[in-house]
Amino acid sequence: MADYYIALQVNPNAGWVTIWGYTTHRQLKTKGVYDASDRAYCLDENDLIKDINGLWITRQLCPEEILRKSVAPLPTLPLAQAEKLLERLGNSEIVFPRLAIPFELWGALLAHGGWRQRLYERRQGLSEQWSIQEWLQAGVSNLAQQLGWGMTRLQLAARGLRSRETDESSVSLSRQLTLAGQAYELRVVKRGNLEDNIWRFELRNANPDAMIPAGFRLRLLTEDLQPFVNNEDTATEAMPQLYIDVELEPGEGLVWEIEPTPDDYDREILRF
């Protein structure tokens, strides 16, 4: 659900876009006519605000304007139900997946960034893009690289030891983040043998000499956003890092969260 909606006419063949105007969520729900067959709202042209520059002026002069109309909260989807929906809607032969299930289920599925990403991948016929085990063995997927994930080689625990276990332990997966205007790094590091499936999530300042400020929090949730024992670490004072160790079942998915929220954050499911 957005604050503002912009009406556009797009002609990809001719290469042009026409902006008709904009409206708020509240105006759309109040004055729009709902088309149940397409689950869309139609708004009369006269009810559009045609000067797009007025949007920025309104935000400056009336920052307290009520932009959204209250709506019923979306339901919470159990993991098993979400998996069934992903399997069904991931079939690209379903042309309009949003019309294939009740809106409440569709909205709840898309509200989860990780499930939304998985639905896209399945409809595109892509293989698993978020497997940590595969990243370590074959490299980070192109899709994950586009979102900032990469591999970082750490200092070997024992110099000169060239075993497979030691070499894998020297590699971590990392993502660069911006929190409160500063650069940080989220790391995922294997603990012990790959078969043990024990992992550490670490949050560090991108500057090796800087600390994690008091009040920052690193949190892990199950794939369906449920907490578990010892699933978060909070900086009660300035400290060099936040970390959480977890032992997982093969194929289990985790979602990470950080407070304050990183810029451009969307939930993603890392598969272990």
What pLDDT sits at residue 160?
A: 42
List C-alpha distances in Å: 184 to 6, 90, 101, 120, 189. 35, 35, 40, 28, 16
Of the options 1.10.287, 1.10.10, 2.60.40, 1.10.357, the CATH number for the domain spanning 132-271: 2.60.40
CA angle 117, 119, 125 (to 5 degrees): 105
Mean pLDDT of 200-220: 97
Mean pLDDT of 115-140: 95
CB atoms within 10 A of CB 155: 6
Is residue 68 scored above 70 in pLDDT?
yes
Residues with Cβ within 8 Å of 9's Cβ and at least 6 positions away in sequence, in order, are 17, 18, 20
Question: Confidence class of residue 192 from pLDDT cuts 50, 70 and 90?
Answer: confident
Mean pLDDT of 119-125: 96
Question: Confidence class of residue 165 from pLDDT cuts 50, 70 and 90?
Answer: very low
What pLDDT sits at residue 153?
A: 79
Mean pLDDT of 79-85: 98
The model carries a pTM of: 0.83
Q: Which amino acid is at 113?
A: G
* Digit-coded pLDDT (tens) for 140-161: 999 999 999 999 876 544 444 4
**DSSP string for the chain:** --SEEEEEEEETTTTEEEEEEEEEHHHHHHH-EEETTTTEEE--GGGSB--THHHHHHHHH-TT-------PPPPPPPHHHHHHHHHHHT-TT-S-GGGTS-HHHHHHHHHSHHHHHHHHHHHTT---S-BHHHHHHH---HHHHHTTEEEEEPPPSSTT---HHHHHHTEEEEEEEEETTEEEEEEEEEES-GGG-EEEEEEEESSTT--BPTT-EEEEEETTS---TT-EEE-SS-BSEEEEEEE--TT-EEEEEEESPPTT----EEE-
Is residue 222 scored above 70 in pLDDT?
yes
Question: Confidence class of residue 168 from pLDDT cuts 50, 70 and 90?
Answer: very low
List C-alpha distances in Å: 210 to 164, 234, 260. 33, 17, 17
Altogether, the residues listed in the chain come to a count of 272
Rounded Cα distance between 246 and 230, Å, is 9
Mean pLDDT of 121-139: 94
Rounded Cα distance between 14 and 9, Å, is 12
What pLDDT sits at residue 104?
A: 95
What pLDDT sits at residue 55?
A: 87
Rounded Cα distance between 267 and 61, Å, is 33
Q: In this predicted model, which residue has the larger pLDDT, 5 or 1?
A: 5
Which residue from 154, 210, 203 is spatially nearest to 177, judged by alpha carbons?
Answer: 203
* Spans of all domains in the chain: 4-61, 79-123, 132-271
Is residue 81 scored above 90 in pLDDT?
yes
Rounded Cα distance between 263 and 104, Å, is 28
Question: Confidence class of residue 162 from pLDDT cuts 50, 70 and 90?
Answer: very low
